[in-house]
Structure 1
Amino acid sequence: MASKYDELTKIIIQNVGGKSNVDSLTHCVTRLRFQLKDSSKANTEVLKNTDGVVTAVESGGQYQVVIGTHVPDVYKVVSKSLGLTEQVGQENEKEPRKKMSLFNRFIDMISGVFTPILSILIAGGVLKGVLALLVAIGILSSTDGTYIILQATGDAIFYFFPIFLGLTAARKFKSNEFVGVAIGASMLYPTLIAAAGGEAISTLFAGTVLESKVFLTFLGIPVILLNYSSTVIPVLISVFLASKIEKFLKKIAPEVVKMFFVPLFTLVITIPLTLIVIGPISTWASNLVGATTLALNDISPILYGMFLGGLWQVFVMFGLHWGLIPIVINNTMTLGYDTIFAATFTASFTQSAVVLAIYFKTKDKKLKSLSLPAFFSGLVGVSEPAIYGITLPRKRPFIISCIATGVAGAVSMMLGIKFFVLGGLGVFGFPSFIDPETSSMQGVIRLAFVTIGAMVISFILAYLLFKDEKIQNTNEMANRSVPEPETSKNQEELASPLKGEVIPLSQVEDEAFSTESLGKGMAIIPTEGKLYAPADAEVISFYHTGHAVGLAFDSGIELLIHVGQNTVKLKNGAFSPKVSQGDRVTKGQLLLEFDIDKIKEAGYSTVTPIIVTNTANFADVKGTAQTSVDYTDILLTVQKA
């Protein structure tokens, strides 16, 4: 498909000496950074006079073609033309990562994997809920063709979850996306699912809690099959394992066979390991959960209800709930009732209550837009959009929901609430608590009060304790008297995002800034390693090293803040971003912390250009006459056209 940057790409490649002269290519927030075999082959003057190129310079051992803030789009086309597509993002792996606890790394991974599919996840949940409602009120029947087709539409993402997650996990772990898809698909392969429903050929650990039936073998090794539909953790572990195997194979594979050798052996190694190792571990963990639950019920029904309710959402996330499903089925068949689903029933409702509180509390427009559909989805029993898209990445809301469900589970057991028949989810699950022998509604009424109580507790706790992430990152700056931006018809004033000495752009060493090719502004030599938002804005770019951030203000002004010169090369953890690209930030919010001493020790200048990148949209941009500024001082005045 043609791109508007195709012609520009041809000119750039030709004038850096052609494809054969390019060793590698990366980009920062404004420029393409080439590592050339012979920089003398580059036609700098031609590039400087090319439409779409701001300037071209050789600096720090790199040949830099300055494009502007839309450089990521140009980079994609140029790298594809150079055949470097697979290298995109690899440089990020070499960058210092902020140290996180194992749990925080797990949450970061879950968030990164689920964010790309969150919208379709919510759409599927809402559709399933609407269909359940239409069946409940008699407009549709579960045997109608209309219902079957729409149910397939809404349920597909949940049934084939491992395939979707295989794709996004591969992106997160920077490995071959189609290998990730193949791993997810193999876990749902119909023949394997059919084999799991057939006759067992042997039994492992018979008579113990780990007793497992074997339905097939791989090279003589017994394989314990598990239904991986709708599961999350097994495929994530498998794709993570595949990413490591893939990187190793790339190092040892001969170039002539690398194209098929690497994916072939990655799959041949990973998929059997998934079925032989991950499957049994999941099965045994599920069995242990089931045994523990039964033992707790014998000791204390209240502890049993608290344990099940509090951890149910965690069990589902890891696929451990499968060890409880056979117990539910067996009890309903033999005893006529069960209590497991009674203890866990409120889980989706507490999730709904939490995201509703977030909807009312948050100022983040994107989070608001996700919260309301997730709320309705949870009411009909589909809690995945709430968990993976909202509560789990923020940890505290997820914990609140678990606590409330645990309390509700304990109360349900105290009230003797029982579950009689497998039925609907969410609000459509209440009929499952009607005693079929006496037609008593007592259980439904009690459960309704418990559910409402759990939702009220969840809502209140979430509303009181939830804070937007951007608010949590603010510090003393939020309490300082930051001047309101001037909002007259003719101009707008922006406070300084940094504290330090002010110099004109003409004194900046980098030609792209000093010539005002990228826009007008000022530069600051910072005396404090903190960068704040000068006004409410959206973070439209935040380069992965943390050295440069782009802000778009409500007034239409777009600001680029580039901390230091050539600091994109820093590998020593000098930058600690406090927000992410796409975030909505408020005036006075801390965006970035940076270590001035580390930047200087690495031999780089700390001079920080602050420029209005869309200067052409305004009559003029003027800088302060002050020689030094604090966070409360006006740095730039933008004259409107």
Structure 2
Amino acid sequence: MSKFKEPAEQLLTHIGGSENISVVTHCVTRMRFVLKDSAKANVEEIEKIKLVKGTFTQAGQFQVIIGNEVSSFYNEFVKMAGVSDTSKDEAKEAAKQNMNFIQRAISHLADIFTPLIPALVVGGLILGFRNVIGDIKLVDDGTRTIVESSQFWAGVHAFLWLIGEAIFHFLPVGITWAVARKMGASQILGIVLGITLVSPQLLNAYGVAGAEEIPHWDFGFAKVQMIGYQAQVIPAILAGLVFSYLEKQLRKVIPNSISMIVVPFLSLVPTVLLAHTLLGPIGWQIGAWVSDVVYSGLTSAFGWLFAAVFGFIYAPLVITGLHHMTNAIDLQLMSELGGTNLWPMIALSNIAQGSAVLAMIYINRKNEEEKQVSIPATISCYLGVTEPAMFGINLKYGFPFLAAMCGSLLAAVVSVGNGVMANSIGVGGLPGILSIQAQHMGTFALAMLVAFTVPIILTILFHRMNFGKIKFGKKRTV
């Protein structure tokens, strides 16, 4: 008999049976359910199941943490439950039935930026590496950079910009593609639309401020400025949304016999015109306003307060899914300022959550079963993936989560108070230092030390102050 048979039966029973399951899928460590009636799920009994590491509800989905064996467990479960396999996209669409307007808007924003994250992470690492070899004087007694002392590294420095430029300067291409993909429009036309925003024939967005004269298209009765939108986020989102809406509406009214010819033309050409006359300028101003507000808030006399609040609440934002909004803000800050002072706080929050779990490993060092969850969770947290730590350990006990939030708060104040800037979004956790601008790496290392030590100290202190109750056995709490 499969070792998953009994826990699968228990999960099916306590989740309300097959008739209560609308959609079920899985990710790397979790079962994801869209339930017809979430009240029928007996969370207390589900968390008593041996293989279950924890549960939570997010984005309209009831999620059960299984661990690395989730794929095998999932296969056993769907066979027993008699429910059909489905895709993550289908599960997300079904889950939106359980969301309010704000949750749906955030979910849509996440769906746009999530496919772009691997490229942004790579870009952040590349920019960070280029800064280390090109900006920090590390050789000849601190008088020259590595690039200045070696032709090989000078070549590497120049070559890597090919990738960095492709990711960040041509970011609108990725955004318009992601929007078209999300909205169900033609993805290749989404890519073409993005290229029209960053075409080499346009004046580069970074050169607009210093340009003596801006080129234009002259239509006789009107002139349209030939300005590019390199690295701009909001203009690309607006253009992608308008194009996708036009294409989908046109396909409803234009006969199939001519739709292949007519629809692409009537959806793409008007959108490009709108993008350069209305959507682009408006989006640019909105983006500039957002970045100015955030940057001004973080660099003002009360910047430490903003940092403290953000550092403290970021982990709870992850639980609600609201953290996805920070991607757009980070990218906007990067396009306007050449870096972001928001993202470093996110990396520090990841470290803090991992340190709280590390303290729990020490506190529960005799609990061999819990180590199967806590040790991998700590490692993944330090590498930027916080969910196993947060939902598997910290939220289960409560006080480690609070300790991590406090550590994140203090580390954020250190970071923002010293003007730390990141080149871009990057790998969270400990590797996050590679995305920090070279001149701020030392200060960020100090903030990392705070995020590492404070949660450990506070978690152990809270434990000794008896913030929780001790329960012996498999699901022991403190």
Kindly indicate which of the two structures has a greater share of residues assigned to helix: 2
TM-score, normalised on structure 1? 0.38
- Tell me: higher relative CO, structure 1 or 2? Use CA pairs within 8 A at least 6 residues apart: 2
Structure whose alpha-carbon radius of gyration is higher: 1
